[in-house]
Structure 1
C-alpha cells in the first residue's frame, strides 16, 4: 500500500486541482505551518464591558491548537501561543490532549474556518494568492492526515481544503 501512496504523491494533481502541503512546493502558505504571517486574535470571550484580549499568534497552527484549550485550560493555550514553531505548538497540544475542550470535535471545523479567515483577512498578499486560485479545487495533499487532508490517495476528507475554498468564496463576496 505504501508504494501506491508514494506513486500517487509523485503524480501531478488532477486538472483544476491545487495540492498544497510541502514546505518547498507552491502554495505552502495555505498550510497552517507557514511562518511569517502572524494573526492577531482573541480566543477568550471578554468579561462583559471589557475589551477583547487580543494577542499575536505566530502561525494559524498556534491559534488553532490553542483554541482547543480556551475554555478548559487557558494557561495551556498561552503556552502554545509562545511556542517557537508551529510543530512545537502541535506537539504541545498533543501533550495536553486530556485537557481539550470536550466540545472540540463538534466545533473544530468551525474554529478552523475562523482561524483561516483571520489569517487571510489580515494578510492581503495571502488573500490575493488565494483568490488567484479561481475556482480550482484545493487539496491538502498528505498521507499523514485523513481528516484535514486527503490521506495522500484521495480517501481523506480534505477539511482544510474545504475551509480554504469557503474562505476564498467569502473573500470574493466581500471585495
Structure 2
C-alpha cells in the first residue's frame, strides 16, 4: 500500500516514453508496417487515423510527415470521431503494435527480452495510456505491450 500521494516505486517496472521517435516500443517509432492494405509510417499514424470513419481524412493522417502531426490531426475536434471509439481504441492500438512487432523481428525480440517486467508508459499527463504524474494512471499502452509480449512468447513456444 502506498504511504503518500504517489504510488510506490515498482522495482520490476521498465519505463519508456510512447512519443519518443527513438523508442522502439513507442507509438511514434518510425517503423512502417502494412495493415488494412496500406503502409502506415508508425503506430501513431494508424491509431489516429482509425478514430475516423472518413477514409479521406484517414488518408490525410496516414500521409502526415511525422507522428506528432498525425496525433495533431487525430485530435482535431472539428472532425467527428467514430461513435464506438472508446470501446475499440485499445484494440486498434494492440493491432498496430502487434503488426509492427511481427514486421520487425528485432523489436519483437527486444520486447521479449523484457521478461516479466511491468512495462510503463511514463507520461505525466496521460492517465489512460500512461502512468500519469502520480503513477496511478491506467497505463493501457504498457498493458498493450505486455499483452503483445505474451502473444509473441506463446507463438515462439508453438514453433
Please give the alpha-carbon distance, in whole angstroms, between the structure 1 residues aligned to 2:152 and 2:85: 26
For residue 135 of structure 1, report the CA deviation from its aligned partner: 0.3
TM-score (normalised: structure 2): 0.87
Please name the residue that 1:33 is paired with.
28
Residue segments in structure 1 that go unaligned for 5+ positions in a row: 1-7, 43-53
- Which stretches of structure 1, 4 residues or longer, exceed 2 Å deviation after superposition? 22-25
- Number of aligned positions between the proteins: 149
- 1:155 aligned residue: 136
- Bigger share in helix: 1
**Aligned-residue RMSD, C-alpha:** 1.9
Q: Distance in 1 between matches of 2:42 and 2:86?
A: 21
CA deviations over 1:67-105 (Å, ceiling 9, x no partner): 111xx2111000000000000000011125632110110
1:24 CA drift (Å) = 8.6
CA contact (8 A) 2:13 2:118 kept: yes
Is contact 2:61–2:70 with CA below 8 Å preserved after alignment?
yes
* CA deviation vs aligned residue, 1:108-146 (integer Å, no higher than 9, x gap): 111111111111111101000000000000000111210
User: Structure 2 unaligned runs (5+)?
Assistant: 1-5
